[in-house]
């Protein structure tokens, strides 16, 4: 069980992280050459308008006061407005979130579905041809850029074989899953390569543990030993990858969504960059970073509840 | 041979022959990684050795030609030779690997040494920085920084360096913290050596190997990142031949002229394999023998 003390400590640990995220996203827009407002407004504004807006945004105040203003805005749920489509950033992100979440979920399912059997096959036949082939495959998977995997899958399965649509999101759940299958496979393949390596190492580790020898001595069938003892314990150590995985999935989504034209947050990021929509870039970076830090929190809490040694 | 004869024959040992100090036998991973990277390095330094044409030479009589004897990797929609472009791009992508990791390696190693040596509140503070940095989706942050600074390789290096040093610092800090508790570190302190000398000459050399191994993986990651940004139009700018840019050039022709994108992609995979094999090989080599 989780102790309240550990949970509290872990949640408090997030405070500096959140402050850091706020600082970085604040500084990000400050890096723009010139005044953020002139960059935001473009060439079509008069000096009087700039001065007025400057006062409205608090840009005439010292930097630290501006930062506090920014923090207050974010905390009250105001991420600013998009310059291009004139909609609050918050609603824009919310609107684009479901495709990315579905895509990430499917990618994790495919990634785990590929990694677990492959890791077992590899670990149980350690040093033999199967093991070498699987590990070589994982190595190639790790070296292959996501957009390249996507492009190849798109050409083979959509353009040539016409099994899947060339992109887009679709209507209704079944259609959406169908539309997102190839993109999820793209992300899932590169995720599987990472997971497979860590899981294989964990399985090899667990196989040498005394409790596995004991289970064998008790006469438990191999299948039970592998599922109940080996897989379970190996998964716990691989669970530590959950936080980083969410981070790399969101990064991968930026690329996959542009390859497959999926209207998710990743594509929104790229569109905002091309459109120089800085409030959206800022708001998105902030929300994605907060999402990942929450994933790290959840990872730690799950790990601590499964393995009490972590909580110490 | 009787026992006495045996003793007699041992009385005069054969003169010791000079043996050159034996190098550890390279593992297949190390040898493979070195071979791939050596080949890529040659291509980067003297592209003309393999590339038959100039990378940006248009040839309107040979547009979208499939691989042939004259154009082994085919040509693109401007009649540019894909083999030549892929080979010339090696120079750009290896540069990305090097310059994208240079500042993180140097600064991260030094920062890690300081953190590891002093420990205490410095270490605690650094721990919070690590916590914060790892929660940024790396690619998203780099893309955001490049978006603000403007596309291009130099801004890519800045973006990667801002974040990348933390990972080296974390690795080195852990190593130095371990080393400083050992007897030889205490001995060096007793000898009255200065702190910089102890850290740089004594502790760091024993703590840096894990960071070097990570550096190899990091260079592979950097090429993946650089080519991804190139593909999105945020990294190297066309007409610069860079693998990601080349793949983007061909993406609209995948159906009819697959060779434009496929070959540069193979080059990326090859470079990635080279660096990770080298990393694995080095990890084996540098692991303390028991």
Domain residues of chain A, as ranges? 96-263
Cβ <8 Å between B261 and A148: yes
Give the closest-approach CA distance of B31 to chain A in angstroms: 16
**If you measure CA to CA, which chain B residue comes closest to A21?**
B132
Per the prediction, chain A carries an average pLDDT of 85
| Number of other CB atoms surrounding residue A3 within 10 Å | 12
Residue in chain B nearest A40 by alpha carbon? B148
A293 interfacial to chain B (CB closer than 8 Å): yes
Nearest CB to A281: which of B147, B232, B272?
Answer: B147
- In 3-state terms, what secondary structure has residue A88? strand
Q: Is residue B164 part of a domain?
A: yes
Q: Is residue B95 situated within a structural domain?
A: yes
pLDDT at A299 over 70: yes
| Banded model confidence at residue A56, pLDDT cuts 50, 70, 90 | low
* Series of mean pLDDT values for 10-residue runs along chain B (290 residues): 56 61 73 94 89 83 83 86 92 95 95 91 87 82 87 92 91 91 90 90 89 92 93 89 92 88 94 92 75
- Structure-block tokens of residue A236: 């716990």
- The predicted structure's pLDDT at residue B290: 47
Residue-level pLDDT at A310: 66
Q: How far is A136 from chain B (nearest CA, A)?
A: 10
Inter-chain touch B140–A243, beta carbons under 8 Å? no
What mean pLDDT do residues A244-268 have? 89
pLDDT at A13: 83
- What Å distances lie between residue B117 and A94, B105, B196, CA to CA? 46, 18, 10
Q: Using one digit for the tens of pLDDT, what is the confidence trace for A74-97?
A: 888 888 888 778 889 999 998 999
Map tokens 């034996």 to a residue.
B22
Tokens of residue B102, six digits: 């240079």
Beta strands in A206-272 (DSSP E): none
Alpha carbon distances (Å) from B244 to A165, B97, B251: 24, 13, 11
Cα separation, B123 vs B114, in Å, equals: 9
Taking an 8 Å cut-off on Cβ atoms, the answer to whether A28 and B269 are in contact is: no
- How much of chain A, in percent, has pLDDT values that exceed 90? 22
CA atoms within 13 A on the CB side of B44: 19
Tokens 């740089």, residue located: B200
**B26 within some domain:** no
Average pLDDT over residues A103-132: 91
Q: Quick one: average pLDDT of A242-257?
A: 86
Task: Kindly indicate whether the domain formed by A96-263 is annotated with CATH number 1.10.1200.10.
Answer: no
Predicted confidence at residue B88, as pLDDT, reads: 93
**Domain residue limits at B199:** 43-49+69-286
Q: Does a structural domain hold residue B25?
A: no
The A residues from 70 to 129 touching B (CB cutoff 8 Å) are: none
Residue whose C-alpha is closest to residue A140's, from A198, A197, A203, A200: A197
Give the C-alpha separation, B176 to A277, whole Å. Answer: 44
- pLDDT for B12 equals 58
CB atoms near residue B39 (< 10 Å) = 14
Can you give the CATH number for the domain in which B267 is found? 1.10.3720.10
Query: Lowest mean pLDDT: which of A59-63, A303-307, B28-32, B162-166?
Result: A59-63
φ, ψ (nearest 5 deg) of residue A58: 75, 20
Considering its fold, how many domains does chain B have in total? 1
Q: Let me know: does A298 contact A238? Beta carbons within 8 Å.
A: no
pLDDT of residue B166: 92
Structure tokens at A67: 């930062």
User: Which of A23, A142, A148 is the mutation pick for testing B, counting most B CBs within 10 A?
Assistant: A148
Q: Which helix (H) or strand (E) holds B33?
A: helix B28-45
Based on its alpha-carbon atoms, the radius of gyration of chain B, rounded to whole angstroms, reads 25
A133 interfaces chain B, CB cutoff of 8 Å: no
Chain A stretch 153-172, residues whose beta carbon is closer than 8 A to a beta carbon of chain B: 154-155, 159-160
Per-residue DSSP letter, B65: P
Could you tell me the two tokens for B66? 């499939």
Report whether pLDDT(A240) > 90: no
User: CA-to-CA distance for B269 and B277, rounded, in angstroms?
Assistant: 12
Cβ within 8 Å, pair B228-A250 = no
In a domain, B255, yes or no: yes
């Amino acid at each position: 069980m989780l102790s309240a003390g550990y949970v509290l400590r872990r949640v408090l640990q997030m405070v500096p992280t959140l402050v850091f995220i706020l600082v970085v996203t604040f500084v990000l827009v400050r890096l723009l050459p010139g005044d953020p407002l002139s960059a935001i407004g473009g060439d079509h504004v008069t000096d009087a308008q700039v001065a007025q807006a400057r006062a409205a945004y608090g840009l005439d105040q010292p930097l630290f006061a501006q930062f506090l203003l920014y923090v207050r805005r974010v905390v009250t749920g105001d991420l600013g407005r998009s310059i291009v489509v004139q909609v609050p950033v918050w609603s824009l992100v919310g609107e684009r979130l479901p495709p990315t979440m579905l895509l990430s979920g499917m990618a994790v399912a495919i990634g785990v579905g590929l990694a677990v059997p492959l890791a077992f096959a590899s670990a149980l036949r350690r040093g033999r041809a199967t093991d070498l082939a699987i590990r070589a495959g994982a190595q190639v998977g790790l070296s292959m850029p996501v957009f390249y995997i996507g492009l190849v899958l798109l050409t083979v399965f959509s353009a040539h074989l016409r099994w899947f649509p060339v992109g887009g999101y679709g209507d209704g759940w079944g259609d959406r899953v169908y539309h997102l299958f190839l993109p999820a496979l793209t992300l899932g393949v590169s995720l599987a390569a990472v997971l497979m390596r860590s899981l294989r190492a964990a399985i090899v580790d667990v196989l040498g543990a005394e409790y596995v020898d004991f289970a064998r001595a008790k006469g438990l069938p191999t299948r039970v030993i592998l599922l109940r003892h080996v897989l379970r314990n190996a998964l716990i150590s691989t669970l530590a990858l959950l936080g980083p995985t969410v981070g790399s999935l969101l990064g991968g989504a930026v690329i996959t969504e542009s390859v497959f034209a999926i209207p998710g947050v990743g594509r929104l990021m790229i569109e905002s960059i091309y459109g120089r929509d800085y409030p959206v870039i800022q708001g998105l970076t902030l929300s994605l970073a907060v999402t990942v830090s929450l994933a790290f929190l959840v990872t730690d809490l799950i790990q601590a509840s499964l393995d009490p040694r972590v909580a110490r | 041979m009787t026992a006495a004869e045996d003793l007699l024959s041992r009385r005069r040992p054969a003169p010791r022959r000079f043996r050159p100090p034996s190098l550890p036998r390279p593992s297949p991973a190390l040898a493979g990684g070195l071979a791939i990277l050596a080949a890529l390095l040659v291509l980067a330094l003297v592209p003309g050795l393999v590339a038959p044409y100039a990378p940006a030479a248009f040839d309107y009589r040979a547009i979208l030609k499939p691989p042939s004897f004259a154009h082994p990797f085919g040509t693109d929609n401007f009649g540019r030779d894909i083999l030549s472009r892929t080979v010339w791009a090696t120079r750009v992508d290896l540069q990305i690997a090097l310059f994208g990791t240079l500042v993180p390696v140097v600064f991260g190693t030094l920062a890690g040494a300081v953190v590891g040596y002093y420990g205490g509140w410095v270490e605690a503070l650094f721990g919070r920085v690590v916590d914060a940095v790892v929660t940024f989706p790396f690619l998203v942050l780099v893309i955001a920084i490049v978006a603000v600074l403007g596309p291009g390789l130099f801004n890519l290096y800045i973006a990667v360096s801002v974040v990348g040093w933390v990972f080296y610092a974390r690795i080195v800090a852990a190593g130095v913290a371990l080393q400083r508790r050992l007897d030889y570190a205490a001995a060096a302190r007793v000898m009255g050596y200065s702190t910089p000398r102890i850290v740089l000459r004594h502790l760091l050399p024993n703590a840096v190997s894990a960071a070097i191994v990570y550096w190899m993986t990091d260079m592979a990651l950097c090429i993946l990142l650089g080519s991804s940004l190139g593909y999105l139009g945020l990294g190297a700018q066309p007409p610069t031949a860079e693998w990601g840019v080349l793949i983007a050039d061909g993406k609209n022709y995948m159906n009819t002229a697959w060779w434009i994108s496929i070959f540069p992609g193979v080059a990326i995979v090859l470079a990635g394999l080279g660096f990770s094999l080298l990393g694995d090989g080095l990890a084996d080599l540098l692991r303390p023998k028991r």
